[in-house]
Structure 1
C-alpha cells in the first residue's frame, strides 16, 4: 500500500534532519561558554600588558635614577642676603657639597666629577658638609684623592657627618687634612666679612666628639655675620640660639627616592632648599651622591653655589 522505498528515504531524511539539528544544537551549545573564555583571555592579555608596562616604567625610572647619580651632580645657584654682611663681602660665593658617599660603587671617578663641577664655578670657598664616605681610609683613601684638586680663593673646609662616625671619623679628619681641606671640629675662622664656623655631627656624641656650639661660636663679635657648617638640618635649633645668620647642611638627600621625599620632610625641619628660622637662615643641599643603591628619583644630586649678598650694598 505505500510508496516503494518510502520508508528508508523517510528514515534517511529524518536522520539527516536529526543530524543537522544535532549539529546545529551542538554549535549553539558551544557558543555559550566560548564568550566567557574570550573575555577571560582578553582580561589576561590586558593584565599582562599592564604588568609589562609597569615593569618597563619601573626599569626606566631606576635606570634614569642611576644615570642621574653616575653622571655627576647638577649645579645650582642661590643668593642669600645677610643683614650683617659688609659691602666688601657682597657676592662671596661658597660651593656647598654634601653626602658624596664614596664607597664600593661611587669611587674615584665620582669624586673627580664633583671636583670638576666645583672648580668650574671658581668659588671663593668650598664647604664639604659631611657624609663624604661609607668606609675606612684604608679602603677609600684612593677614591677621595681627587679632593686634592679642589680650588678656591679662601680654601676648602670640612665637617663630619653621621657616616664618618661609622667609618672612622678621626682617621678621615686626618686624611682630608692631608688632602688640603681644613676640618672645622667645633671651631671657627675669621674671613674677610664674616665668621665661618663648623660643628661636629651629633652622631659624634657617642664617641665624646659631638657638636659644641659654645666652642665654635662663643666669644665672637656678634656684630659680624656668621656662617655655620653643620651636617644635619635638625641642628638649626641650636644655631638659632647661638645667633647664627646662615647654616649650611646636607644629610637628607632630598629624600633620594620617592616616596622617601615625604619621610625626609617629616624627619627634618627642611628637607631641601632655603628657609628662615627667626633671624637664622638654613640652606639644605640634596647632596652629590647616594646612600644604598646609587639611584635618585625626584631628588637629583647637586652642588650648590651659595652667593652671599650684603643688604648694605
Structure 2
C-alpha cells in the first residue's frame, strides 16, 4: 500500500510539472514533444532507482534518480506556491481596456501584414486566439522560469549542506536525581548515518574524526547506520573501529537495519568486531567518578514483525531506581513506554529534523519531537537530526548533526 501511494504521488507530481512547465509554456510542436519525452525519461530513471535500491542493483542510478526526486519535489512546491500569484496576474492581464499582445502571425512574401499601424483591428485579423495564447505563454513561461530557478537553487543549497560537515550541537541536560558525581558526563550522540550507495568511506571517516575531536565519555549511535548488507557496505563501516571514548561506543537498531537483506544480526556481529557494543533490549552500567549511571538500549519498533522489537521490561526491569538511567531508542515516539519505566533521558534520531523542509511539519504529526530537547511525560528527550541523509542527498532547514550532550543535576 505504501509503495502504491508513493508511486501515485510520483506520477501525480510528474503530471503536474508537465502541465505547468511544459504544456503551459510551449505551443504544440517539437519542443513540447521533446520536453514531454525528457520528463518521461526522468520518471523512468526515478522508478528504476527505487526498484534497483530494493533489489540491491543499479546503484549507479542512485545519484541522478535521487537528485531528480529532490528537484521534482521542490518544483511542485514552488509551482503550488505560485498558483495564487499566477491566477492574480491572469486576472489583471484580462482587465477591460488593456491591450493584449498578439502572437506573431506568419504571412506570405508580398502580402499585407495583418499587424496594422497602432490599430486594434490588427488583433482581429490575427485571430481570436492571439491575445489569450500570448497571455498563457507569458504566464506559463514566467512561472516555469521562477519555479525552475527556485528548485535548482534550493536543491543546490541542500546538497552542499547534506554533503558538508555535520554541525556540532552542544547541549546541556539537567536530570533532577542525577548523582552530583556524574555531573559533566558527556555523550557524543550520532544517528542516521545511512551508509549507502551515495556515501563513501570518507563520510564515515569524517564522522569518526569529528566525534573523536569531542573527547566524549560515551559514544551513542542511535540507529539507522546502514542502508544495505555487510557484503555491500562493510568497508564503509570500518572506520568506526577508530572511535574513541572513555567508556565505549554503543549502538541500537533503527528501522533501516531491518530493511537490510541480512537483517540486523549481521550488522550486530560486524559492529562487535569493530568495537561497538549493541544494546539489544539490555543495559550496562557506566561507572564515573565513583557513581553509576544506567545506560539502556531497546530495539527499534520495526523489529516487532520479526519478533525482534523493543522490550522495555527486559532492558529496564529489576534495576536500582535510585540511579539515573539514559535510554537509547531510535524513534522518539517510544518515549511513552520509556516514561512508564522511569527513564530520565531518552536519546533518539529517526526524524532527520525533517531533512527537506517543509517535511518537518509532516514529521511532527508522527513523532512527538522533530529535533532538539523536549520534556515528554516527565522524560527528557533529545532528538538528533542525524549525520547523514536518506534518499536525496539534500538537506534544507535541517543540517546534519553530531551532538555533544553533557549531563548536569
* TM-score interval, smaller chain: 0.7 to 0.9
**Contact 2:123/2:131, CA 8 A, preserved across alignment:** no
User: In structure 1, how many angstroms separate the alpha carbons of the residues matched to 2:139 and 2:213?
Assistant: 51
Does residue 296 (structure 1) correspond to residue 391 (structure 2)? The answer is no
Does residue 52 (structure 1) correspond to residue 145 (structure 2)? The answer is yes
1:152 pairs, out of 238, 245, 248, with 245
Does residue 199 (structure 1) correspond to residue 298 (structure 2)? The answer is yes
Does residue 73 (structure 1) correspond to residue 166 (structure 2)? The answer is yes
Change (3 A) 1:51 1:154: same
Give the equivalent residue in structure 1 for 2:107. none
User: In structure 2, how many angstroms separate the alpha carbons of the residues matched to 1:212 and 1:41?
Assistant: 66
User: In structure 2, how many angstroms separate the alpha carbons of the residues matched to 1:107 and 1:91?
Assistant: 34
**Contact 1:72/1:110, CA 8 A, preserved across alignment:** no
Root-mean-square deviation (CA), in Å? 2.0
Give CA deviations for 1:187-211 in whole Å, capped at 9, x if unaligned: 1111123110101111111221111
Give the equivalent residue in structure 1 for 2:21. none
The TM-score with structure 2 as length reference comes to 0.66
SS of the residue aligned with 2:259?
Answer: helix
Give CA deviations for 1:129-164 in whole Å, capped at 9, x if unaligned: 000000000000001111111111111000001111
SS of the residue aligned with 1:163?
Answer: helix
Q: Which moved more, 1:180-189 or 1:66-75?
A: 66-75
1:94 pairs, out of 149, 170, 187, with 187
Does residue 124 (structure 1) correspond to residue 217 (structure 2)? The answer is yes
Which structure has greater strand proportion? 1
User: In structure 1, how many angstroms separate the alpha carbons of the residues matched to 2:204 and 2:221?
Assistant: 12
Unmatched 5+ residue regions in structure 1? 1-25
SS of the residue aligned with 2:255?
Answer: coil
- Shift in Å at residue 34 of structure 1? 9.4
Does residue 242 (structure 1) correspond to residue 335 (structure 2)? The answer is no
The TM-score with structure 1 as length reference comes to 0.86
User: In structure 2, how many angstroms separate the alpha carbons of the residues matched to 1:33 and 1:307?
Assistant: 77
Q: Pairwise mapping of residues 208-287 of structure 1 onto structure 2 (< 5 A)?
A: 208-287=307-386
Does residue 184 (structure 1) correspond to residue 279 (structure 2)? The answer is yes
**Contact 1:98/1:131, CA 8 A, preserved across alignment:** yes
SS of the residue aligned with 1:274?
Answer: strand
Does residue 166 (structure 1) correspond to residue 265 (structure 2)? The answer is no
